[in-house]
Amino acid sequence: MSQPHMALPALLDAAEPDALRAALDAVHAAVATYGEDYRTLLQEVWTHVRGRPVDPDVPQ
């Protein structure tokens, strides 16, 4: 799967009228876009969901 081609669905999914569906679909497409480095993306997502910064040196 082409990573650059997966970026467009992430943007389009973010515009869905159902906010939860939009967020989940956008994250799913973004994970595909990130490829092997998807853990970095998910850590960033969780940082925003939790509303506090995550220290990468501290085990979660």
Residues 14-46: tens digit of each pLDDT: 788 888 888 888 888 888 888 888 999 999 888
How much is the pLDDT for 9? 78
Rounded to the nearest 5 percent, the helix, strand and coil shares of the chain are 70, 0, 30
Neighbours of 54 (CB within 10 A): 13
- Structural tokens at position 34: 């990130």
Give residue 39's pLDDT: 92
Contact 43, 54 (CB under 8 A): yes
Give the per-residue pLDDT at 59: 64
pLDDT tier at 53 (50, 70, 90 boundaries)?
low
Residue 7 vs residue 36, higher pLDDT = 36
Residues 9, 29 contacting (CB under 8 angstroms): yes
Strands (E), the chain: none
**pLDDT value at residue 11:** 77
Supply the pTM of this predicted model.
0.63
